[in-house]
A and B are shown apart, each in its own frame.
Chain A
Amino acid sequence: MDLFHNLAIGFSTAAQPANLLYAFLGCLLGTLIGVLPGLGPLATIAMLLPITYALQPDSALIMLAGIYYGAQYGGSTTAIVVNLPGESSSVVTTIDGYQMAKQGRAGVALSTAAIGSFFAGCVATLALAALAGPLTATALLFGPKEFFALMILGLILASVLSSGPFIEGIGMVVVGMLLSLVGTDLSTGTQRFAFGIPQLFDGLDFVPLAMGIFGFAEIVKNLEQDDKLSLVTQKIANLFPTREDFRRMIPAMLRGTTLGTLLGVLPGGGAVLSSFASYTLEKKLSKHPEQFGKGAIEGVAGPESANNAGAQTSFIPLLTLGVPSNVVMALMVGAMNIHNIQPGPEVMTKNPTLFWGLIASMWVGNLMLLILNLPLVGLWVKLLTIPYRYLFPAIMVFCSIGVYSINGGTFEVYEAAVFCVFGYVLIKLQLPAAPLLLGLVLGPAIEENFRRAMVLSRGDVSVFLTSPLSATLLAAAGIAVILIMLPTIRSRREEALQE
């Protein structure tokens, strides 16, 4: 069978000693940095990107995927032990996880998160492998107008799911697309918005922008809110859930995994949406909803499974359609470009070992994280006792060297400094940065497909609505906009997305 044949190719790539080592290094470093409060997967990947420059493309991507999962695991550890979400997808874990920790059940909460994530990871790997073929086949039927419509849908959904008013999210998408225009126009060779600066002829780099906004500006914000960490001081003993715990967490894990696998595939979806949806579902289905918020194990098992499944299946739109569904995936596009890989349907056909190797390595990485995290959890928690005043200069050092090493020049470092100021303005205005980054990454492809579609139709805009596939995608985007404008849904969304 195809699925098993493909997985076999994947595992033979992922199991090469060098790749195992890089997967392990990625998981280790990702966890290390992900545990630190205020550093989520995005900043972690951006910081560690330079380490992967020298590697072979498949090893580099395997390591980056490891960093991604590691950072996510690390985020849940911080959520449970200090009540601080390391990243937005572990916000809900803080609710019941920290309560469990206060009752002396931190070990059980941590192992529940780890087991749930591992189980979800296994299922999502299979889903990814099974869906990749059919979706790639579909993508090959896409022409310029369909791709244009698909990307519009993705951007609309990403704005719907970001915090803050929807219209401001769309505004940020457009700002990102405008920034993406900087550089050489591919069809005419004209320099646009470059103002004669040669370093801008290739366009704005994604990494300095992400580091400026999610690294440096975030530090300024963290320094402002001078809140002390409320570390759970008891020793973390007893990692093993009781039989009663298992009875309660297994159904939650199954539901969370299913939900996460499905929601992760949506453009704009992924880990955040999955964990929120799972928490709401568990609370609705529970016979004891009053226990939620007071240390209900379902409130950890469900969302943690869901966010891991969602994180993993969010690779599907990237790998098959070339459309990143969230900001971390957008950064993966940047990483792939550095290695001269164009994400999209061609990856699977042109580069099967890389494609299936990456998928198989996700399973391997999940297994490593399980081993890495449970016995070593005490070590990770120790990291949290480092005061922030020593930590943030270290983050700045790693980010600065990382930005410098993109091209071995200081221009990118200045760029990051400019985006630090810009990112701080965004934080103060409460404008979401995620849609901006997606706009920046998808902008060039949207313009190119738009122009090509218009050339083919001789300037007739109605072509987007007369082709059934693109009309369907645009209609879905339209429905999403109308739904978000409805008052009842608007208030429920605000409730769900507030942190």
Chain B
Amino acid sequence: MTRPTIRDQRAFASGALFLAFAIFFFVTALNYPAGTAARMGPGYFPRLLAIALAAIGLAVMLGAVRRTAQRQASQSWDINGLAWVTGSVVLFACLLFPLGLVGALFVLIVVSSRASPEFTWTGALANAAVLIALCLLVFVYGLGLKLPVWPALLD
């Protein structure tokens, strides 16, 4: 017997993602009472949805190994770009209170700029200067949003 080959890798991965979500939500929902159809507890609807999603996930995965499925490789990932972009957002959140808006924005702009293949230090620094000034003007002085502007140590 030959093993079924995964013709459509993209669809197969999508189906697997659905199935993983379904299992996660179903298992977690087991902690909540289900109740009956006439008096549903907090666990009834989540279980229903999770079962439906599991069925959809399995159907998508089956469709991907069917002989009629179009061959489709999974796409390559730009892990670097993703890491710079996500990382800069996380850093912004971590640094906002200790460093204040000016410091956190500086880090956000310089780190995220690294995601671009055309990164230059001078460009990033100049961009940071312009954007920080703009944000202070618009958000802090213009709209009066409550944001810590300078590092906590200086207050």
The chain A residues found within 8 Å of chain B, CB to CB, are 50-51, 54, 165, 167-168, 170-171, 174-175, 177-178, 181, 185, 187-188, 190, 192-193, 216, 219-220, 223-224, 226, 387-390, 392-394, 396-397, 400-401, 404-405, 408, 410, 413-414, 416-417, 420-421, 424-425, 428-431, 447, 450-451, 454-455, 457-461
Contacts and interface: CB of A to CB of B under 8 A. Distances in A.
Contacts of B77: 424, 428
A203 to B, nearest CB: 14
Interface in B59-109: 59-60, 63, 74-75, 77-78, 81-82, 85-86, 88-90, 92-94, 96-97, 105, 108-109
Nearest to B118: A389
A387 B119 CA distance: 11
A192 B86 contact: no
B82 A220 contact: yes
Contacts of B123: 389-390
Interface in B15-33: 17-18, 21, 25, 28-29, 32
A167 B89 contact: no
Given A193-B25, A400-B108, A390 B127 contact: yes
A397 B21 contact: no
Nearest to B48: A450
B86 A420 contact: yes
Nearest to A450: B45
Contacts of A178: 21, 25, 46, 49-50, 53
Given A192-B46, A428-B74, A421 B82 contact: yes
A145 to B, nearest CB: 14
Closest 3 CB pairs of A and B: A459-B38, A459-B37, A413-B93
Interface in B100-155: 105, 108-109, 112-113, 115-119, 123-124, 127-128, 131, 135, 139, 143-147
A424 B17 CA distance: 13
A457 B38 CA distance: 7
Contacts of A459: 36-39
Question: Per DSSP, are chain B's interface residues mostly helix, strand or loop, or mixed?
Answer: helix
Contact of B14 (A171, A387, A416): A171
Interface residues of B, number: 68
A424 B113 CA distance: 18
A71 B28 CA distance: 41
A389 B113 contact: yes
B113 A175 contact: no
A171 B53 contact: yes
B45 A188 contact: no
Contacts, number: 179
Given A226-B117, A429-B13, A192 B32 contact: yes
B97 to A, nearest CB: 7
A400 B36 CA distance: 44
Contact of A185 (B42, B92, B105, B127): B42
B42 A188 contact: yes
B86 A397 contact: no
22 contacts: A50-B139, A50-B143, A50-B145, A165-B63, A167-B59, A167-B60, A171-B14, A175-B21, A177-B49, A178-B49, A178-B50, A190-B32, A193-B46, A220-B85, A226-B117, A389-B113, A392-B116, A396-B88, A404-B93, A410-B96, A425-B17, A430-B10
Contacts of B81: 220, 223-224
B49 to A, nearest CB: 5
Contacts of A429: 10, 13-14, 17, 74
A364 B120 CA distance: 44
A423 to B, nearest CB: 10
Nearest to A412: B93
Nearest to B146: A408
B24 to A, nearest CB: 9
B11 interface: yes
Given A178-B46, A401-B135, A413-B93, A216 B147 contact: no
A187 to B, nearest CB: 8
Contacts of B145: 50, 401, 405
A401 B14 contact: no
B134 to A, nearest CB: 8
Contact of B113 (A174, A181, A393, A420): A393
A192 B74 contact: no
Given A168-B60, A219-B85, A420-B85, A393 B127 contact: yes
A458 B17 CA distance: 35
B135 A461 contact: no
A220 B38 contact: no
Given A389-B119, A390-B123, A416 B89 contact: yes
